Amino acid sequence: MAEVTVNSLEFFGSHWTAWRVLGVAPHRIGSWRNLYLCYSVLLNLLVTLCYPLHLGMSLFRNRTLTEDILNLTTFATCTACSVKCLIYAWNIKDVAEMERLLLLLDNRVVGPEQKRVYGEVRVQLRNVLYVFIGIYLPCALFAELSFVFKEERGLMYPAWFPFDWLNSTRNYYIANVYQIVGISYQLLQNYVSDCFPAVVLCLISSHIKMLYKRFEEVGMDPARNSEKDLEECITDHKRLLELFRRIETFISLPMFIQFAVTALNVCIGIAGLVFFVTEPMARMYFIFYSMAMPLQIFPSCYFGTDNEYWFGKLHYAAFSCNWHTQNRSFKRKMMLFVEQSLKKSTAVAGGMFRIHLDTFFSTLKGAYSLFTIIIRMRK
């Protein structure tokens, strides 16, 4: 069996690539820094700010109700995506501290059992990647097909432009190229905004499991200093808590925004599908769109729940070690750790919602409640 190399930062590679492309990582650019800053300003003005703006200028001013619903859902999603990207860009330097803590934790991973736990991370994060590919591809495909099969000249997404795109072929192509390029950047922003929290929370869960195994081994080898091993495990726990609090602060507001937008868009998407949309391609788009929105928050909620569960089990690991043969100093330190580990560690979005599977299902219930309000209004 091949030796497992422990390097948590390998899972950040795609995110740093995305952040560079999106123009929010100037501190990671060695040469051409001034040129990169110009690129960053231009890109974020044209896409991050102007893309939601050009959608919002057309709200409830379109030719059909289907276009109004498509316009509203796309505007809400793109606005949330831009706001999340700007928040992450503002706090991007915090990622370096998370990387430092992860490297310290990686250096503590020894033995086949701990490396097996780390090896499982690749499988979990590959599944997360498949989830996001499964989200974006069908939505992008049916949005494009809905656009291609339009009987008359139209845009991919209903929007406002400061020129006449309907009666000018040149302007028509300019408008559509802008929408296609812009939505590609928005999808990249969405990917990194939704995937990064899940990746870090997954890594924290794996390191808690590995710490659990290290605790179980304390005192088992008479050749080792048990008290020193215990102190190192307690230090690892402190680093995990610091990493957990840093990622919680980093994703708190973006996750809060995503919860709110998910409830709204699932409701609007299903209402449009049931009551208003009649075109086949548009119906397929709204089906996949309504499924995609909750899937965006599911991985983060799942690993948030996993974090809470494993943090809550660490005191059991402490009592699984060979503590009863140790001296009083060892037992006192162990009891202090147990008291500390009993405190509940739960990531919270916006100071209100737990990043937890309970919140995932509550979001779906919120969407259903909004949907019932629409039904009553129609009556």
* Segment 108-124 mean pLDDT: 88
CB-based burial label for 338 (10 Å; 0-12, 13-18, 19+): middle
CB 272 within 8 A of CB 66: yes
Q: What is the pTM of this model?
A: 0.91
d(CA 197, CA 257): 14
In angstroms, rounded to a whole number, what is the distance separating the alpha carbons of residues 354 and 255? 10
d(CA 269, CA 367): 10
- In terms of Cα–Cα distance, which of 229, 247, 243, 236 is closest to 211? 236
Tell me how long the chain is: 379
User: 148: which residues sit within 8 A by CB, 6+ positions away?
Assistant: none
State the pLDDT confidence band at 359, using cuts at 50, 70 and 90. very high
Question: Which carries the bigger pLDDT value, residue 262 or residue 279?
Answer: 262
Closest CA to 277 of 287, 292, 262: 287
pLDDT at res. 3: 62
> Residue 24 and residue 288: Cα distance in Å, rounded?
30
> Distance of CA 193 to CAs 51, 86, 157, 347, Å?
17, 10, 22, 16
Provide the pLDDT confidence category of residue 1 given band limits of 50, 70 and 90: very low
Calculate mean pLDDT across residues 59-75: 84
Percent of the chain, pLDDT > 90?
47
How many angstroms separate the CA atoms of 299 and 175, rounded?
A: 35
The tokens for 147 are 């656009």
Handedness of CA 271, 274, 277, 282 (dihedral sign): positive
How far is residue 220's CA from residue 218's CA, in Å, rounded to a whole number? Answer: 6
| Partners of residue 348 on adjacent β-strands | 354
In 3D, which of 369, 358, 245, 370 has the Cα closest to residue 297? 358
Which helix (H) or strand (E) element contains residue 270? helix 226-271
Q: What is the DSSP string of 36-77?
A: HHHHHHHHIIIIIIHHHHHHHTTTT-SSSHHHHHHHHHHHHH
| Dist. CA 379–CA 376, nearest whole Å | 5
pLDDT in tens, 298-353: 999 999 999 999 999 988 888 888 888 888 998 999 999 988 888 888 899 998 89
Helices then strands (H, E): number in the chain? 12, 2
Distances in whole angstroms, Cα of residue 158 to Cα of each of 79, 175, 181, 280: 15, 11, 15, 18
Round to whole Å and give the CA distance between 96 and 107: 17
pLDDT digits (tens, 9 = 90+) for 143-195: 777 766 666 777 888 899 999 998 898 999 999 899 989 988 998 999 899 89
CA distance 379 to 374: 9
Average pLDDT, the chain: 88
pLDDT tier, 65 (very low <50, low <70, confident <90, very high otherwise) = confident
